[in-house]
Amino acid sequence: MNNLFGCQNMVDPIRRILIKHPKNAYQNQVTVNEQSPLLNYFGIPDFEKAQADYDHFVELIKSSGAEIHFLPADDTISLDSIYTHDPCVVTNGGVILCTMGKKDRLPESAAMENYFQSIDVPILGRIEAPGTLEGGDVVWIDERTVAIGEGYRSNAEGIRQLRELLGNLVDEVISVSLPHWTGPGGCMHLMSNVSPIDHDLYLVYSRLLSVSFRQYLIERGINLVEVPDEEYDSMGCNVLTMAPRKCIMIEGNPITQSRLEAEDVEVHTYDGSEISQKGAGGPTCLTRPFLRSVS
């Protein structure tokens, strides 16, 4: 593997990561006030507090030793651009640009393309309409196996195109049906219900997992840590793994945190009231790791 990119797993140490500060995604309180209702946010973020909370989040990432890259401001894209995980998928062969299922987010892939090209990370391909795909639906089980959530954000045609683009980079692409849940206006990704914490340890919300996929994980020898019902809406299942059994999660999910710590997981927390919960994007959504490696 080269030292510029490659991210076909979700637990090895993050070496390079792309994020977007709210000062560039939100720009100002007036923009936040105007766009939040249009984007189906659960509330209007406070611009000043969002920046302070995000600074703490960045410090947690820095403490892991990861090389941090920041997407610049762009007037053509919305507040949602703070969630850098979704507009692309990073493979060992380059970046695959997504066509987002949320129409308001369609322009974000172009910003991703421009940035990655500027740092010499190649573009492997793109998902073309009528295919849709969002990064939050992509869960790497291992370097050669990837699961894709099929729902309102990623459709069967998008998954077919992704399988074709991946080619011999993978052995297996698994399509996982997602539930209706709150409908097409909500945000339901496969990663809403599954967060790999180690190669043999996943955090899950089993109530919203298909029986076949849950059994598949168990058959692979993966131990499942369950998120309790009362901590699902507070995004207890959305956890960013910085390295095996070292993760970042939103504060205020004490049961989930204690269950992870019982599995010898090092847990760091941040205030997600403005930057995560109002826009339905946890620490995984806020980040696009593009190099993970053990050395």
Please count the CA atoms within 13 angstroms of the CA of 20 that sit on its side-chain side: 28
Confidence grade of residue 186 (pLDDT, cut at 50, 70, 90) = confident
Q: From CA 41, how far away is CA 183, in angstroms rounded?
A: 15
Is the pLDDT reported for residue 22 higher than 70? yes
Report the amino acid identity of residue 22: P
pLDDT tens digits, one per residue of 91-112: 999 999 999 998 999 999 999 9
Is the pLDDT reported for residue 295 higher than 90? no
Average pLDDT over residues 227-255: 97
Helix (H) or strand (E) holding 236: none
Q: From CA 221, how far away is CA 270, in angstroms rounded?
A: 31
| DSSP secondary structure letters along 62-115 | HTTTPEEEEPPP-TTS-GGGG-TTTTEEEETTEEEE---SSGGGTTHHHHHHHH
Tokens 């195109």 locate to: 161
Count of H helices and E strands in the chain?
7, 15
For domain 14-292, which architecture applies?
5-stranded Propeller (3.75)
Neighbours of 277 (CB within 10 A): 20
pLDDT tens digits, one per residue of 72-86: 999 999 999 999 999
Residue 2: predicted pLDDT: 54
Confidence grade of residue 1 (pLDDT, cut at 50, 70, 90) = very low
Average pLDDT over residues 157-182: 96
Tokens 């380059």 locate to: 94
CA dihedral 253, 259, 260, 262 (to 10 degrees): 140
Asked, as a colleague might, if the bond just before 37 is cis with ω within 30 of 0, I would say no
Average pLDDT over residues 43-62: 98
pLDDT tens digits, one per residue of 116-132: 999 999 999 999 999 99
**Percentage of residues in the chain with pLDDT exceeding 90?**
94
**Percentage of residues in the chain with pLDDT exceeding 70?**
99
Residue 208: predicted pLDDT: 96
Tokens 């793994």 locate to: 241
Helix (H) or strand (E) holding 205: none
Tokens coding 61: 């990432």
